[in-house]
Amino acid sequence: MTPPQLTEVEALELLAQHYGLTGQLVVLPGERDRNFQLCLASGERNTFKVVNAEVPLESLKTEIRAMQHLNSILGGLVPNPLADQAGRFISQGSLQNGSTCWLRLQSWRPGIPLAEFQPHTTELFHSVGHLMGQVATSLSTLAVPDPHPDLPWHPDQASQIVEDGLSLVADPLLKNFLEQALRLYDRYGRPLETDLPRSLIQNDANDYNILVHGGLEGPPKLSLIDFGDMVVSWTCAEAAVTLAYALLGQISPWKAVQATLGGFSQTRPLSSKEAEFVWPMALMRLGVSIVMAAKQIQEQPENEYLLISQQPIRELLQHLNALSLEEGIARSRFACGHSSICRKVSLETTLEKQMFFPVMGQALTSDNTLLLPLGIESSTSDWLSGDVEEQSARIQQAIESSHKVFALGLYDEIRLCYTAPEFQQDLESRTVHLGLDVFGRAGTPIFAPFDGTFVTVHDNAQEQDYGPTLMLQHKDLSGESLFTLYGHLDPECLELWLPGDSIQAGTRIARIGASPRNGNWPPHLHLQVISHRLGWETDFPGVALPSEQSFWKEISPNPYRLLGIPEQSWTEPESLPRNLLARRLHILGRNLSLSYKEPLTILRGEGVYLIDALGRRFVDCVNNVAHVGHCHPRVVEAQRKQSSLLNTNTRYLHPELVRYAERLCGLFPDPLNVCFLACTGSEANELALRLAQAHTQAQGMVVVDVGYHGHTKSLIDLSPYKHNGPGGKGAPDWVRTTPMPDTYRGVYRERHPDPGSAYGEKVIEHAESLAKSETGLAGFICESILGCGGQIVLPENYLQTAYAGVRKLGGLCIADEVQVGFGRVGKTFWGFELQGVVPDIVTLGKPIGNGHPLAAVITTTEIAEAFANGMEYFNTFGGNPVSAAVGNAVLDVIEEEDLQKHALTLGNYLLERWKGMSKRCPALGQVRGEGLFLGMEFVADPVQRIPCAARATYAVERMKVQGFLLSTDGPAHNVIKFKPPLVFPESEAERLCNNLEQILKEVPLQLA
């Protein structure tokens, strides 16, 4: 059925005639109806639908009733039907071509079709499921006859249509899928058909019928617009149709299941039977699409578009091909809040009650078994570092020296040792161990715990895989199947057994294999219990994604009983306390902030990576403290070594301290030759202030707006970022604030002939006024690139002008290098060198100790002398031998790894790429910076340069999902700062840019 043919003029005439309305029309797409958007003079918008007269009036009436019903229950989530002048919701119109048509008007819903909305996140599909659950619940209370009993898209007819259409489909990928899906439906879906509740359903939650709007702040809002395919069918078929479209929605199939059905069952709980029916029915719906398209292609072979429109389905099938369709049933059950497998007797009960033979021939107890923690926080690197021979020797030695026979690797442990590409999936890595590992000598015999039959005898020969593997099928207490899996075996078992061989409990089935034949691990048995094979063949997963931890733990519970282990608690790692956040909020001061809407629990650092409690690896893009990389082995070793020798204060001579001070001062131009060591940037700036005030005998300081110099009382006075921020009390009278030399948004911008000098003059004005005041002028403090100010690079001539003027008035010039020092800015080692000046005092912190609390003040002999007025400078921890050793190691790494040069090349590359992106994305107003100290400024309008914090925060949160940790700064919090460890790899820079490029195209970042 085609939409009626009419012009816009004709449509306007119909509107005037029937509704007494006039306005502007915009043509909208429509398969069955001719649709227009009507913009009224009042600004209000409606949708005007001209419907083919062949559409039965009764079905149109049901549509109207359903929409009114949904509106009365759900409010504005669906359009509201509007009446014509005679009070009718459906009017009959006459067209100029002589035909008649039905006319309908309804309220306008904001948003764009889900198909055009980006990003397609799991949260979005959860919301879609949630909405459709609401719709299903509401429609189920409307008793109407089936408006479209003969619709080809009717769920009742789906399996028949697929079966009948099979012969039309030639493509082997599609055909194979249809055959498999039909088999699955016959086995799991059809038997349930008669048991399921039925009601009116919308039956078409496709990505053009769901509108999305918002999404910049808070989740996007959804509405549903088309009710032309409603039928009376199984209520849960609404979930199946929703799922079928979500599967085509560019997220991975199991994520689509979890998200949509999780959302759906929140608003329309699905019974166990319904949950089981949904998956085969969703496959049938996909099948109907394939068959309908095949019919159309047969009718119009020249229409290339028809083939193209099959592309998303082909892509999905390629994904599904790699998965087992049967697993979908367990996934659906689980997503709906049921146990993934429906068993008569739970696996736990069987393991508890059924007699067994201990798999290692003897029970494992603390007398003969050592625990071998391999989780994130344990010293995995100790046990599994070096090559496999070293690992094996280390573990065997530990077993023997503690007079044990075995070592036990734990169940449900989050491990980082699975590094082969097969363990990477989407953006996650499989880290959750689903079995128990028994480490022991190669050759140790392994016995069957129950009578059973081999179902797989296979060599999973890839690196880090199971190696030779056996799987046995047994019967549980009620006669249902359960399975046990044995991995990393001696290859002799591959000769010994064939699938189908039956054995008795206590039969020796294999021996522990030796490396490298066992998947190249230290010799051990991986033992796993499996409730259902879910269609997997020989490679049943032994390690799961952290996001699927609970699903897989249900399928494979802890097999400790089969080893004769009496205590389950002994075999599982101590889990992280779940209420960390609440405890932290309770016990720590409330003004400690946490990053991200959902805070991360980070347990390890490694170079540029931070690893959380689930083993997820994030690229750290903001921590300039970990200058040479998190936990750099050289720095860790220097610290360990010196800590084991001596740590004391500076009241004794120590070569490490003097060597470090000499080395550090050697990195500065003359006359900066004297060094004081401290523990934090705040201490360094506090000392710098005292030095300046002692030397000048004056108090007053000029500071740059939005600057931050530390958390002590006097540094808060020097930090407009704090004293002008929430809870601040403004600047005291001895502090004058000069504007940020910001050429993007400040008073002097990029078109000014010399903005640097102009901003420098501002500093001098404030210095002059201070010099004339009671406090006098002690100096001027400025970060070498403004960090909290939003990564603002000082314009040329700024410090030159300011320093000359301040010095003329008797003040000192302090460069705060706490953020940017030690080669980060690339072109030079220190940030102030970019400006061609030599400060009187330089303060250092953050990167200086790579995370160890170390800081320094470097100044001239003359200033240091003025400070040495008899009062001792004592700092308990400043300059201790461990800190000095760490400081020296950091300098070694910067030199040896040529990190300054890397910062320059990589920084230039990133800036270039980001400049290209900012040209393409008007919301990205400016990108700037030097070396690996960069910023991206987000705006609401590129001409007015109005800051937009929400866009910056949105991009930060989206980049977190992609595995990159960024954060915002600047007075309006609209600047994303990038100041990563300098060891940032080129490959990650590339990945960062590619992800950023995609995110900048997402709908919430587009300017309206």
Ligand X SMILES: Cc1ncc(COP(=O)(O)O)c(C=O)c1O
Binding residues (CB under 6 A) for ligand X: these are 680-682, 685, 708-711, 783, 787, 816, 818-819, 845
Nearer to ligand X, 270 or 890 (CB): 890
Nearer to ligand X, 120 or 852 (CB): 852
User: Residues 6 or more apart from 764 whose CB is under 8 A from it?
Assistant: 801, 802, 805, 806, 809
Structural tokens at position 612? 């959380």
As measured in angstroms, the least distance from the Cβ of 783 to ligand X is 5
Nearer to ligand X, 739 or 922 (CB): 739
Residue 452 pairs in a beta bridge with 503
- What CA–CA distances, in Å, run from 590 to 44, 581, 585, 599, 753? 46, 12, 6, 15, 47
As measured in angstroms, the least distance from the Cβ of 839 to ligand X is 14
The length of the chain, given as a count of residues: 1008
As measured in angstroms, the least distance from the Cβ of 883 to ligand X is 13
As measured in angstroms, the least distance from the Cβ of 389 to ligand X is 45
Nearer to ligand X, 222 or 689 (CB): 689
As measured in angstroms, the least distance from the Cβ of 585 to ligand X is 22
Helix (H) or strand (E) holding 991: helix 986-1000
* Token pair 């320094």: residue: 856
Backbone phi and psi for residue 530, each to the nearest 5 degrees, phi listed first: -135, 125
As measured in angstroms, the least distance from the Cβ of 710 to ligand X is 4
Backbone phi and psi for residue 689, each to the nearest 5 degrees, phi listed first: -65, -45
Q: Are 423 and 430 in contact (CB under 8 A)?
A: yes
Nearer to ligand X, 431 or 682 (CB): 682
As measured in angstroms, the least distance from the Cβ of 682 to ligand X is 3
Nearer to ligand X, 392 or 784 (CB): 784
CA distance 628 to 625: 9
- Categorise residue 936: left if φ over 0, alpha if ψ from -120 to 50, beta otherwise: beta
As measured in angstroms, the least distance from the Cβ of 746 to ligand X is 19
Nearer to ligand X, 548 or 930 (CB): 930
As measured in angstroms, the least distance from the Cβ of 683 to ligand X is 7
Q: Are 227 and 63 in contact (CB under 8 A)?
A: yes
As measured in angstroms, the least distance from the Cβ of 623 to ligand X is 12
Largest CA distance in the chain: 107
User: Residues 6 or more apart from 305 whose CB is under 8 A from it?
Assistant: none
Nearer to ligand X, 857 or 956 (CB): 857
As measured in angstroms, the least distance from the Cβ of 943 to ligand X is 32
- What CA–CA distances, in Å, run from 767 to 281, 756, 805, 815, 840? 77, 17, 8, 16, 16
Nearer to ligand X, 325 or 890 (CB): 890
Supply the DSSP string of 27-38, one letter for each residue.
EE--SSEEEEEE
Structural tokens at position 152? 């080809």
Q: Are 945 and 743 in contact (CB under 8 A)?
A: no
As measured in angstroms, the least distance from the Cβ of 636 to ligand X is 20
Task: Indicate the residue whose CB is closest to ligand X.
Answer: 681
Torsion angle of the four alpha carbons 728, 729, 735, 739, in this order, in degrees rounded to the nearest 10: 60
Q: Are 888 and 659 in contact (CB under 8 A)?
A: yes
As measured in angstroms, the least distance from the Cβ of 965 to ligand X is 17
Nearer to ligand X, 139 or 854 (CB): 854
Q: Are 221 and 207 in contact (CB under 8 A)?
A: no
Give the count of beta carbons closer than 10 Å to the beta carbon of residue 580: 12
- Categorise residue 412: left if φ over 0, alpha if ψ from -120 to 50, beta otherwise: left
Q: Are 141 and 217 in contact (CB under 8 A)?
A: no
Spell out the SS3 assignment of 716-770: HHCCHHHHCCCCCCCCCCCEEEECCCCCCCCCCCCCCCCHHHHHHHHHHHHHHHH
Nearer to ligand X, 524 or 709 (CB): 709
CA distance 310 to 715: 64
Nearer to ligand X, 722 or 928 (CB): 722
DSSP 155: G
Give all strands (DSSP E) within 214-331, no chain letters: 221-224, 231-234
Nearer to ligand X, 127 or 819 (CB): 819
As measured in angstroms, the least distance from the Cβ of 784 to ligand X is 9
CA distance 860 to 162: 86
Nearer to ligand X, 84 or 783 (CB): 783
